[in-house]
């Protein structure tokens, strides 16, 4: 399950656990020999079974490198890691870290920069994949068939964006380039910004009813959990598609599964799920009108290089009592 790099331990060396390195990327990006006198790395390339296993495996580590929300840093887990001093996370926002408990335990939490464009790119991969039936056509090509479906054009269609921040804005600009009409809603939508980029502000209900494609680009918080339930799905056109590359819990997953089974909408493109990794027997894996990806929106060589290099930079700064990119709330 694990890859281990151990060097002769010195008192000054910091024990570092690199969590959830599914692609074994850390060793491809980081020259660990360069840091052999500073850090003692252990790489965990599979998720823990539960929090109990995480507490056992991580006991004794002073620093954790964590990838997004893959392993939640809960109050109970943090309290069970008495030697923990530093948490380095990818990105500058991680809702899976209990920052209040970290602060009480005098644990420094630092983040990294993150490129927003990969999430916008994967959004369009899902949209195009659904609109041109790529899942079916690729499968059929490998079985020897030729031209088995008829797709749709994007020009003239209505793209509804739930959220118009950095990623939503990039998605909007691509939609406009395709000749689509673009509308948007969020609780704190910036009307001036929407006007500047040619996006029509709408109420949530009107957006759901009028959009051909609905794409979610929100930061997960209590107010947005299960924002999309069966009630909202039933407002949507039967011919519409729902895209989520934001956070899985924004959609009530059981309702979406049932809606796809009942063909209340034409399909869904998902890169995020309520439980990750998605269980092997999850119903979404077996629905023909669901195009699903394993949360790879941010998984690019460019982002990973930035994540790991800046995590090391942050840890070095912390060990010198000059921490950078601190996350405090």
Q: Enter the DSSP assignment of 153.
A: -
pLDDT of residue 179: 98
Whether 61 and 199 map to the same domain: the answer is: no
Q: Per the domain annotation, does 160 fall within a domain?
A: yes
Whether 73 and 108 map to the same domain: the answer is: yes
Whether 106 and 156 map to the same domain: the answer is: no
For the purposes of burial, counting CB atoms within 10 Å of the CB of 207, is it exposed (0-12), middle (13-18) or buried (19 or more)?
A: buried
Q: Catalytic residue at 316?
A: no
Q: Per the domain annotation, does 226 fall within a domain?
A: yes
Whether 154 and 182 map to the same domain: the answer is: yes
pLDDT of residue 3: 53
Which of 137, 276, 313, 316 is catalytic? The answer is 276
Q: How many domains, in total, are found in the chain? A: 2
Q: Per the domain annotation, does 278 fall within a domain?
A: yes
Whether 111 and 127 map to the same domain: the answer is: no
Q: For residue 22, what are the domain limits? A: 2-115+300-319
Whether 197 and 207 map to the same domain: the answer is: yes
Q: Per the domain annotation, does 325 fall within a domain?
A: no
Distances from the Cα of 298 to the Cα of 103, 157, 247, angstroms: 28, 27, 12
CATH number of the domain bearing residue 201: 3.40.50.720
Whether 110 and 122 map to the same domain: the answer is: no
Whether 100 and 129 map to the same domain: the answer is: no
In the chain, which ranges are E strands?
2-4, 14-18, 39-44, 63-66, 86-89, 108-110, 158-162, 181-185, 200-201, 213-216, 241-244, 267-270, 290-292
Cβ neighbour number for residue 75 with a 10 Å cutoff: 14
- Which tens digit of pLDDT belongs to each residue from 187-208? 999 999 999 999 999 999 999 9
Q: Catalytic residue at 247?
A: yes
Q: Per the domain annotation, does 13 fall within a domain?
A: yes
Q: Per the domain annotation, does 327 fall within a domain?
A: no
Whether 314 and 227 map to the same domain: the answer is: no
pLDDT of residue 189: 97
pTM equals 0.92
Q: Catalytic residue at 70?
A: no
Whether 108 and 160 map to the same domain: the answer is: no
Whether 213 and 273 map to the same domain: the answer is: yes
- Which tens digit of pLDDT belongs to each residue from 118-165? 999 999 999 999 999 999 999 999 999 999 999 999 999 999 999 999
Percent of the chain scored above 70 by pLDDT? 97
Q: Per the domain annotation, does 254 fall within a domain?
A: yes
- Which tens digit of pLDDT belongs to each residue from 47-75? 999 999 999 999 999 999 999 899 999 99
More confident residue, 307 or 222: 307
* Mean pLDDT computed over 257-267: 98
Q: Per the domain annotation, does 326 fall within a domain?
A: no
Whether 107 and 123 map to the same domain: the answer is: no
Which of 62, 181, 247, 253 is catalytic? The answer is 247
């Amino acid at each position: 399950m694990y890859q281990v790099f151990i060097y002769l331990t010195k008192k000054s060396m910091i024990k570092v656990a690199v969590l959830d390195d599914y692609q074994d990327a850390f060793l491809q990006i980081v020259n660990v020999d360069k840091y052999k006198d500073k850090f003692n790395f252990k790489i965990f390339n599979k998720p823990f079974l539960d929090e109990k296993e995480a507490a056992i495996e991580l006991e004794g580590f002073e620093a954790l490198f964590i990838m997004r929300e893959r392993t939640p840093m809960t109050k109970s887990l943090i309290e069970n890691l008495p030697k923990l001093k530093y948490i380095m996370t990818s990105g500058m926002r991680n809702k899976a870290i209990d920052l209040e408990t970290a602060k009480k335990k005098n644990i420094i939490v630092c983040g990294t920069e993150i490129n927003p464009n990969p999430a916008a790119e994967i959004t369009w991969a899902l949209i195009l994949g659904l609109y041109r039936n790529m899942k079916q056509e690729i499968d059929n090509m490998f079985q020897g068939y030729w031209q088995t479906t008829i797709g749709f054009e994007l020009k003239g269609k209505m793209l509804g964006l739930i959220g118009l921040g950095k990623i939503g804005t990039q998605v909007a600009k691509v939609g406009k380039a395709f000749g689509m009409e673009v509308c948007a809603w969020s609780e704190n939508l910036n009307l001036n910004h929407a006007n500047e980029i040619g996006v029509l502000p709408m109420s949530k209900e009107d957006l759901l009813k009028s959009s051909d494609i609905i794409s979610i680009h929100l930061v997960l918080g209590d107010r947005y959990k299960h924002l999309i339930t069966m009630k909202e799905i039933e407002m949507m056109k039967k011919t519409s598609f729902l895209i989520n590359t934001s956070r899985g819990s924004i959609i009530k997953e059981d309702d979406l599964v049932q809606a796809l089974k009942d063909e209340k909408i034409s399909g869904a493109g998902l890169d995020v799920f309520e439980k990750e990794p998605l269980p092997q027997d999850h119903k979404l894996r077996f629905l023909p009108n669901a195009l699903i990806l394993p949360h790879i929106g941010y998984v690019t060589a460019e982002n990973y290089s930035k994540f790991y290099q800046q995590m090391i930079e942050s840890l070095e700064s912390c060990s010198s009592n000059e921490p950078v990119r601190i996350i405090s709330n």
